Amino acid sequence: MSIQRRRERERAEREKLIVTAARELAEAEGWDAVTTRRLAAEIEYSQPVLYSHFKGKDAIMAAVAVEGFAELAVELRAARAAAEGAREALAAVGEAYTDFARRRPALYDAMFTHTVDLPFATPQAPAALHEAFGELLRAVEPIVTEGDDPGLLTETYWAGLHGLITLMRSGRLPKEAHAARLSLLTAHFTACAT
């Protein structure tokens, strides 16, 4: 009876331990440093236990990514709540988004860059993912002009943010002008509105 419960609890704890260790290792040294051997050593278990919890390394990254979506949603919401007008809110959310990516590059990679076996653009996607996208949506909605689809506009704005981040992070865009590019992007999405 209770023994079963205890085992399930311990198992859940160990799963959490794996995800946390993977995330910390990735944030400290990048995902390349997160090998199954290294991760196993970190949690002080042998390699195969990882596979009794997750299908493979990708699934572990996916679990880390889901954590990230929840945190991103919180940060975006805070940024939007702190801003005054609609334009300011969008700018604040854009800055919060790129700031999240800058502060947590490994987490961002798991969420948006790495190939990871998560359902994305479907209702089956994790709730945290929908929440994060919803925060973006709520920031974009007020500046939608008639005739435009809010969802599509949000996706497009999101793509702009994501493009800025990835191109900058890979050295393809100079870091210095990031703020200028970001405000250009936001300005062009809010222009002609209101």
In the complex, the residues that contact DNA under the rule CB under 7 A are: 3, 7, 14, 34-38, 45-49, 51-52, 56-58
Structure tokens at 164: 């800025």
Residue 102 interacts with, from DNA, a copy of itself, none (CB under 5-8 Å by kind): none
Q: How far apart are alpha carbons 110 and 80 in whole angstroms? A: 24
State the first-to-last Cα distance of the chain, in angstroms, to the nearest integer. Answer: 62
Residue 21 beta carbon to DNA: minimum distance, rounded to whole angstroms: 13
DSSP state string for 40-55: HHHHTS-THHHHHHSS
* Minimum CB distance to a copy of itself smaller for 21 or for 96: 96
* Minimum CB distance to DNA smaller for 58 or for 67: 58
Residue 34 beta carbon to DNA: minimum distance, rounded to whole angstroms: 6
**CB count, 10 Å around CB of 168?**
20
Structure tokens at 55: 């299908």
In Å, how far are 20, 33, 155, 167 from 163, measured between CA atoms? 28, 25, 12, 6
Q: How far apart are alpha carbons 157 and 57 in whole angstroms? A: 31
* Minimum CB distance to DNA smaller for 29 or for 99: 29
* Minimum CB distance to a copy of itself smaller for 21 or for 72: 72
Residue 193 beta carbon to a copy of itself: minimum distance, rounded to whole angstroms: 9
Q: Which residues bind a copy of itself (CB under 8 A)?
A: 112-113, 115, 120-121, 148-149, 152-153, 155-156, 158-164, 166-167, 170-174, 177, 180-181, 184-185, 188-189, 191-192
